[in-house]
Structure 1
Amino acid sequence: MFIGHFAVAFGAKKVVPRTSLATLVVSAQLLDLIWPILVLLGIETVRIDPAAPNPFLTLRFVHYPWTHSLLMAIVWGVGFALAYRARTGYGRGAAVVGALVVSHWVLDWITHRPDLQLAPGFAPRVGLGLWTSPAATIAVEGLLFVAGVAVYARTTRPRDRAGRWGFAGFVAFLLVAYASTLAGGTPPSPRVVAASALIGWA
């Protein structure tokens, strides 16, 4: 899942209006922020499948238990929540950012083929495989995204024109990035995928 993670971050603003959107987005995407670093270090492994039946299945996630197992998602979530609580003193915000980190695994469980472990070293892999149907994936992510944007727009009031157009620009950027991912073809190598992911967040 891609824009669905952002949708959850947008919607969370209604629950924790004092928490910045940037923090909510980082929380929802924390696992994917750490993942490319571990790929480049050789700790986690992804492969390219040039014969994949659709763009969602181009990446084969071979080994990524330190970022995308359920147990480690909870560990990262608790750690991020504690760090946020220590920095802000905002208890509800800490609970929500921690939940957002874990929500990433839940949404990936819905979309991924069975490649997600419950814990490092725990053999069974799970995943409902929504990605096997591009139409269903786009429909589910699209509905989530529209709902998240709508909740955020109703919850917040931009202070000026820059705030209004800044959010609109961010939404447009995400949609363009999503479309380009689907139409961009097969990436040349796993390292390029990981490096591109890091550059995209820079």
Structure 2
Amino acid sequence: MEMLIMYAPAHTAIALAAKRMNPSASLIGLMVAAQGSELLWVIFNYLGIEHSTVDAGGMLHLEYLPYSHSLLTGIVGGVLLWALLRFVFERKDVATIFGWVFVSHIVLDVIQHEPNIQIAPWMPTPGIGLDLQSIPWLDFAIELAFCIACWAYYRGSLRLLTGFIAINIIDLPLMFAGDGAASPLASNAIILPTIVLVTIIAAWAVVYAFHKPRKRSVSATEEGNLNYERTDAHEHNP
């Protein structure tokens, strides 16, 4: 029995790729945008607006998350974030990338979730979700490959790659939890959102700590050209 919850590394990796596409965008801001729906889910669970259930076999289901994780919420949230940055803060240079990053969360969750994502909050059916997480090894392999692809696109350091691998491995107990493992969550509604919030913050911390791109090596020819340009500039500017 796998615990059907959401994993932070892949969403955080999206922010890293977006940072490469638009270097002027704040990495911290992009990471928050990428987890916008998840942060809403945490807040709504703390407030009792959304909730999860544990069935008789100890299987956890994110049964009710229509406000934080509907397709409409993802799209409208992205549009509102774009409009806020574009017209209120006058940051036309980053508005579009932030809007797309917000929307990306629901797109990734449609691939991973069981069919519990609604089209709109007031439409309980049909539920959407490809249920990738029901095949834990495949889920782990695809999420790790996705993180590595984003890391490679970003041209990240080896320390960042190691960090991504580590935080994906840390999620393994959640993916492969045994029968009845979710039973303790049935008696305390704040355990699950707290676990998810901690994993989000941990992923943010790893990426921010090691996000500096690896330095591009300079060939001998390039180095020679640079030295020549410096010498030539010095000779013409005594």
TM-score band, normalised by the shorter chain? Answer: 0.7 to 0.9
- Asked if residue 51 in structure 1 is aligned to residue 57 in structure 2, the reply is yes
| TM-score between the two structures when normalised by the length of structure 2 | 0.68
Percentage of pairs with the same residue: 31
Note the aligned Cα RMSD (angstroms).
2.6
Q: Which runs of 4+ in 1 moved over 6 A?
A: none
Q: Report how many aligned residue pairs link the two structures.
A: 188
Go from structure 1 to structure 2 and tell me whether the alpha carbon gap of 1:131 and 1:182 turns closer, same or farther (over 3 Å shift): closer
Instruction: Decide which moves more: 170-179 or 143-152.
Output: 170-179
Of 106, 123, 141, 1:139 maps to 141
How far apart are residue 177 of structure 1 and its match?
3.6
Give structure 1 stretches of 5+ with no counterpart.
53-57, 159-163
Q: Which residue of 1 aligns with 2:172?
A: 179
The Cα offsets for residues 16-75 of structure 1, whole Å up to 9 and x where unpaired, read as: 1111221111111111111011011111111234736xxxxx530111111100001112
Go from structure 1 to structure 2 and tell me whether the alpha carbon gap of 1:116 and 1:200 turns closer, same or farther (over 3 Å shift): same
Give structure 2 stretches of 5+ with no counterpart.
1-5, 202-238
Q: Which has the larger radius of gyration?
A: 2
Q: Which residue of 2 aligns with 1:30?
A: 36
| TM-score between the two structures when normalised by the length of structure 1 | 0.79
What CA distance in whole angstroms lies between the structure 1 residues aligned with 2:106 and 2:164? Answer: 22
The Cα offsets for residues 152-189 of structure 1, whole Å up to 9 and x where unpaired, read as: 226xxx9xxxxx96x56853663354235336663522
- Asked if residue 194 in structure 1 is aligned to residue 193 in structure 2, the reply is yes
SS of the residue corresponding to residue 14 of structure 1 reads helix
Q: Which residue of 1 aligns with 2:97?
A: 96
